[in-house]
């Protein structure tokens, strides 16, 4: 029982947020995260109010010999925010954003959701490129990379971290920037939560305005031809267009014709800034090459675009994700994806393929960050989503097979933010590649030599890794 541990009294005395223990009424709600499959029981949930709270709780955990885990938005698909018997450093009270319009930067607290950031920056006609679901946490997304509708134009979220306030394993609070702890700043751009708790991100902002959003729907039998069309088109995509190819076992939406409603379906989603003539023209051109059964075009403010997909993957369902980068999407791969979607055991599951490159692959971004695999053209993600525990094994097996059955010559490595629980230690070195991993391990040895922060795609400190 934590209450009897030496030091808890002192922690209570200095702590400004709230401390929640297993016997407290608020405990069960506080240990819930987005993925309902995880039913883990932390020893203590420390809802920090600021960096000083975070420092105090880290010192307490170290003195007590307790492991820690860190929760930003609680959306990690592999449940990294929660660990049995650990002190959960919960940043959900820390969601303030301050925008400096003149310098085009925002200071965002470490527990912000994407919607906190967008709602503060978009009234100024500015945004930091982030993910596409507004209830996702900024912390995990930014530290692991962060791609979305603007990534091909401006790069990943991690490329926009210009500075960070970080609470280290020993409780000290440091500022990482180009002038101070530059190696730590480099590692935070893609190296995940391995190095400390980020209590404040300083993020570069980009101009945004009205966006153009097109979705075209096709019966699943047409998916093969559409993929072939897009596959030859994708390498010529201008950086202003992002295209997503999504397969669903059963798709319902008001705008669909009766012939498609409730059946397996392909959608092609294309997003470009409304004033980007070249991007808008290209999206229309792709649609012209792949005529659809139905399509919609909407012009909408960037902030509204950012919440369009919020209901597709609601908190509380059970989820299991497998993902990989692809060097190509050959015909036998598309056939496998189609076979997978029509045999999905749950109607809520989906498979998506996206084309990256553009600003993501820019050489200067690569040099300034720890984010690996920037040259991967495509990413494929099988997301199993279902309701009941008795269906866990069938749905997890489905997602595994959807990715494992892809022709291996076109598959390589995984986006760290989509790693499944079994990949968090075994696949990390391979995913970063030898040079990046060696450098990350050296930074880890400097900032977290005892590997306190290990509930993440874990980089071991250099001396352990060698």
**Where along the sequence are the contacts to ligand FAD (CB under 6 A)?**
34, 69-77, 80-81, 91, 110, 131-133, 136-137, 139-141, 143-148, 192-193, 197-198, 313, 417, 455-456
- Given a contact cutoff of 8 angstroms between Cβ atoms, the answer to whether 385 and 348 are in contact is yes
Q: Which is nearer to ligand FAD, 336 or 448 (CB)?
A: 448
| Helical axes 331-342 vs 392-404, angle rounded to 10° | 170
Q: What is the DSSP pairing of strand 87-90 with strand 44-47?
A: parallel
- Complex with ligand FAD: residue 60 or 149, whichever CB lies closer: 149
Of 136 and 292, which has the nearer Cβ to ligand FAD? Answer: 136
Q: How many residues belong to the chain?
A: 466
Cβ atoms within 10 Å, residue 314: 13
Least Å from the CB of residue 437 to ligand FAD: 17
- Pick between residue 17 and residue 146 the one whose CB is nearest to ligand FAD: 146
Q: Nearer to ligand FAD by C-beta: 340 or 455?
A: 455
Cβ count near 225 (within 10 Å): 12
- Interatomic CA distance for residues 418 and 80, integer angstroms: 11
User: Residue 363 Cβ, how far from ligand FAD at the closest point, in Å?
Assistant: 21
Shortest Cβ distance from residue 229 to ligand FAD (Å)?
Answer: 24
Coil/strand/helix, residue 41: coil
C-beta of residue 354 within 8 angstroms of C-beta of residue 139: no
Shorter beta-carbon distance to ligand FAD: residue 132 or 265? 132
For residue 126, give the nearest of 213, 45, 207, 30 by alpha carbon: 207
- Please provide the DSSP assignment of 268-310 as one string: EEEEEETT-HHHHHHHHHHHHHS--SEEEEEEEEHHHHTTTTT
User: Minimum distance between the CB of residue 180 and ligand FAD, rounded to whole angstroms?
Assistant: 18
- Smallest gap from Cβ 70 to ligand FAD, in A, equals 4
User: Shortest Cβ distance from residue 87 to ligand FAD (Å)?
Assistant: 13
Nearer of residues 196 and 290 to ligand FAD, judged by Cβ: 196
Residue 425, Cβ density class (10 Å: 0-12 exposed, 13-18 middle, ≥19 buried): middle
Q: How far is the CB of 455 from ligand FAD (least distance, A)?
A: 5
């Amino acid at each position: 029982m934590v209450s009897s541990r030496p030091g808890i009294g002192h922690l209570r005395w200095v702590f400004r947020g709230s401390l929640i223990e297993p016997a407290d009424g608020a405990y069960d709600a506080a240990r819930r995260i987005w993925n309902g499959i995880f039913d883990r029981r932390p020893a203590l949930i420390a809802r920090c109010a600021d960096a000083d709270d975070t420092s105090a709780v880290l010192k307490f955990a170290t003195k007590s010999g307790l492991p820690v885990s860190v929760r930003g938005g609680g959306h990690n698909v592999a449940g990294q925010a929660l660990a049995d018997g650990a002190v959960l450093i919960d940043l959900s009270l820390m969601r303030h954003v301050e925008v400096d319009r003149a310098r085009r930067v925002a200071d965002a607290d470490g527990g912000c959701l994407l919607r906190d950031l967008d709602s503060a920056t978009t009234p100024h006609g500015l945004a930091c490129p982030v993910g596409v679901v507004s209830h996702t946490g900024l912390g995990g997304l930014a530290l692991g990379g962060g791609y979305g509708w603007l990534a091909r134009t401006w790069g990943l979220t991690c490329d926009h971290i210009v500075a960070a306030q970080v609470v280290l394993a020993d409780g000290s609070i440091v500022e990482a920037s180009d002038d101070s702890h530059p190696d730590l700043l480099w590692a935070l751009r893609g190296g995940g939560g391995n190095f400390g708790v980020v209590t404040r991100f300083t993020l570069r902002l980009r101009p945004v305005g009205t966006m153009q959003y097109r979705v075209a729907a096709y019966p699943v039998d047409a998916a093969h031809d559409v993929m072939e069309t897009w596959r030859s088109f994708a390498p010529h995509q201008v950086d202003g267009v992002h295209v997503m190819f999504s397969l669903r076992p059963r798709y319902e939406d008001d705008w669909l014709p009766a012939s498609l409603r409730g059946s397996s379906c392909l959608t092609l989603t294309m997003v470009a800034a409304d004033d980007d003539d070249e991007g808008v023209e290209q999206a229309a051109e792709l649609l012209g090459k792949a005529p659809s059964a139905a399509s919609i075009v909407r012009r909408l403010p960037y902030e509204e675009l950012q919440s369009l997909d919020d209901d597709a993957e609601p908190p509380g369902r059970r989820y299991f994700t497998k993902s990989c980068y692809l060097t190509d999407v050959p015909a036998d791969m598309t056939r496998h994806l189609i076979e997978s979607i029509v045999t999905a055991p749950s109607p809520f599951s989906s498979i998506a393929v996206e084309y990256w490159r553009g600003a993501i692959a820019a050489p200067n971004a690569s040099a300034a960050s720890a984010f690996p695999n920037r040259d991967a053209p495509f990413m494929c993600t099988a997301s199993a989503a279902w309701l009941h525990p008795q269906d866990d094994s069938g749905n997890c097996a489905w997602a595994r097979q959807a990715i494992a059955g892809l022709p291996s010559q076109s598959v390589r490595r995984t986006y760290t933010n989509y790693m499944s629980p079994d990949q968090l230690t075994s696949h990390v070195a391979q995913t970063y590649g030898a040079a990046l991993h060696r450098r990350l391990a050296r930074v880890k040895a400097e900032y977290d030599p005892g590997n306190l922060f290990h509930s993440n795609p874990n980089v071991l400190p250099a001396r352990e890794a060698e």
